[in-house]
Chain A
Amino acid sequence: MAFQNENSTEYLRGVRRVLIVGAAVALTAIFLVWRIDNARVEQLRANLVDRFVPSFEWTLKPVAAAARLVSDFRSYARVYEQNDELRRELQRMQGWREAALQLEQKNAQLLALNNVRLNPRLTFVTGEVMADAGSPFGQSAMVNVGREDGVTDGAAVVDGLGLVGRIAGVGEQSARVILLTDSSSRVPAFVRPSGQRAILAGDNRAAPVLEFLEAPGEVRAGDRVVASGAGGLFPPELLIGQVVVSPDGRLRVLPAADYRRLDFVRVIRHAEPGLVEGPGDIIGPLLASQPTPPSAPAAEVAQ
């Protein structure tokens, strides 16, 4: 058939085949390197993303806002039902507000009694979510704060309501957050009323699974789950969510963070308690370890 003649000789086809096989081998090698040495490849990915994605920030945000406007418009149709729901929820919230005020007063009294100074080491930096994962193979987000703002690898990320995820890969001006729902996310957690430790494992569904529970029978739906400080991974007592029981009988956690409208997040900068090594140069030069005669510092000052 005249028009199906590929116009290439057998030689070119052979060369092409070799090229394809070579490319396939190279790509498999890249995949294996990523699998073996995840941290370094993720760092490389973060650097590349840092170079290319923030420069398009001016397009990402407005288009996403427009898309969300369209979806919000659909929900305007249900205004009456939403109004009803909101009124009922407001009534419930009034009750909680009273309870919260009383607890706050009690807490203040107890703190004053104990003379406790709360750990001031938790500072945070607020960033905006610029991009999402982009494929069903992972759940992650990109924020526009990076090494320049003090973000370190492994830092916890929260939004106003609860834990969102963890930083993996930091560039100069951007960082990637692995969300709790990602299949490679494992967070040590505490189930509150029963006080059991568990691991929160994501599996690409909206509610990550609670694994390694010692006594699953004692955990009920509605229990609060918070981050335990195990391993120094996360600062302790960060709210994660509530326990729910999924239709297949597993215990899952519905995250308190609102993933559908994640705009601003806080990256917690957990300063390591430093090791005290020397006498600590506070005011003057370092004195010698033996007790010096009082004339020596006077001689130094006179100089």
Chain B
Amino acid sequence: MREAAQAGTARHDGRRAMTRAGRFGSVTETALTLALGMAAIYAALLPYSLSADRLPAPDLVYCLVAAWTIRRPSAAPLWAILLLGLAGDVLTSRPPGLGALGLLLGAEALRANAGFLRSGPFVAEWLAVAAVFAAMLVAMSVALHVAFLDGPGAGPLLGHAVVTALAYPFVAALLNWGVGMRAPRRPAGDDRLGRIK
């Protein structure tokens, strides 16, 4: 039993488990996530229907950044989020800078609570991501109104938020099992209350 315990602590040292990269290694992971982000932006550009009452498309870039920030808060660099945000703004028809700012602040809000969200059930994480996205959309609408512009109405934005929230589990699953960014395991040494397991 003691050998088993020692083997356990050797394999799941707390700090080392947290910074262990996924299947590929941290630089490749960043590159892969950036590539997925670019693919998400291009997916948003597909000319499926140009009618104004089409089915709203999910914001896959936000889902990707949220899942990445929650799973690897220390390895989701600021410049990558900025790059994805600005590229998304410029290539789609958003006001440039607005979407990037929303993405940055949303990612920071999620990063601050990343540990708490990781340790809970997935539903908590999902709800938090959806709530942050809704707050982002509200803030962007307010910014547009302050600048005397007419943004999209509440209807399309609500549809957008709902569809994005529905798409989040799929994106998180892709990052989890495809790229291997699993939430780090709790070390077998002690649990949250300090009791030795």
Q: Which residue of B lies closest to A53 (CB)?
A: B91
Q: B101 is contacted by which of A16, A24, A35, A179 (Cβ under 8 Å)?
A: A24
Most chain B CB atoms below 10 A, which of A132, A203, A205, A206: A132
* Interface membership of A20, Cβ < 8 A: yes
* Interface membership of B95, Cβ < 8 A: yes
Q: Which residues of A (135-167) have their CB < 8 Å from a CB of B?
A: 135-142
Query: Could you say which residues of chain A place their CB within 8 Å of the CB of B115?
Result: 4
Query: Could you say which residues of chain A place their CB within 8 Å of the CB of B41?
Result: 134
Cβ B97 vs Cβ A203 within 8 A: no
* Interface membership of A64, Cβ < 8 A: yes
Query: Could you say which residues of chain B place their CB within 8 Å of the CB of A130?
Result: 47
Could you say which interface size class chain A belongs to? 35 or more
Cβ A136 vs Cβ B187 within 8 A: no
**Residue-by-residue, is B37-66 near A (CB-CB < 8 Å gives 1, otherwise 0)?**
000011011111111111011010000000
Most chain B CB atoms below 10 A, which of A41, A67, A133, A206: A133
Cβ B187 vs Cβ A3 within 8 A: yes
User: In whole angstroms, what is the CA distance A205 to B52 when docked?
Assistant: 5
Cβ B46 vs Cβ A27 within 8 A: no
User: In whole angstroms, what is the CA distance A132 to B59 when docked?
Assistant: 14
Return A292 CB to nearest CB of chain B, in Å. Answer: 60
Q: Which residue of B lies closest to A3 (CB)?
A: B14
* Interface membership of B35, Cβ < 8 A: no
User: In whole angstroms, what is the CA distance A140 to B47 when docked?
Assistant: 10
Return A225 CB to nearest CB of chain B, in Å. Answer: 17
* Interface membership of B179, Cβ < 8 A: no
Most chain B CB atoms below 10 A, which of A35, A49, A135, A182: A135
Cβ B189 vs Cβ A45 within 8 A: no
Return A110 CB to nearest CB of chain B, in Å. Answer: 38
Q: B42 is contacted by which of A6, A7, A60, A138 (Cβ under 8 Å)?
A: A60
Cβ B95 vs Cβ A31 within 8 A: yes
Q: Which residue of B lies closest to A67 (CB)?
A: B48
Cβ A204 vs Cβ B52 within 8 A: yes
Q: Which residues of A (79-138) have their CB < 8 Å from a CB of B?
A: 129-138
User: In whole angstroms, what is the CA distance A183 to B95 when docked?
Assistant: 12
Cβ A63 vs Cβ B46 within 8 A: yes
Q: Which residue of A lies closest to B186 (CB)?
A: A3
Given known contacts A27-B97, A28-B101, A204-B52, what 8 new A-B pairs fall within 8 Å (CB)? A2-B187, A20-B78, A27-B100, A132-B49, A135-B93, A183-B149, A203-B153, A204-B156
